[in-house]
Amino acid sequence: MNIDIRAHIKDNFKSAETDEIKASIEASIKDQNEITLPGLGVFFELLWSNSDENSKEYILNTLKNSLN
């Protein structure tokens, strides 16, 4: 079986409100269930792909600081 995770995640959330997306992200992080990591990765890919250079720099600095 070949599943397109990107398409599945996008389809699942295309009509979701921002509070629903936020709740899903927070639940995924709280549960620490590794099965949700691909979905979070799709969200990150969308964020990164749609960010300008200043936003990308902010994201990178936030990630770097969070690793310390």
Number of folded domains in the chain? 1
Enter the pTM of the model. Answer: 0.86
Under 8 Å between Cβ of 58 and 47? no
Name the pLDDT band for 2 (thresholds 50, 70, 90): confident
Is residue 42 over pLDDT 90? yes
- Would you call 4 exposed, middle or buried from its count of C-beta atoms within 10 A (0-12, 13-18, 19+)? exposed
Query: Rounded to whole angstroms, how far apart are CA atoms 34 and 19?
Result: 22
Name the pLDDT band for 1 (thresholds 50, 70, 90): low
pLDDT tens column, 10-40: 999 999 999 999 999 999 999 999 999 999 9
Q: What is the mean pLDDT of the chain?
A: 95
Q: 29: how many CB neighbours lie within 10 A of its CB?
A: 11
**Domain limits at 55?**
5-66
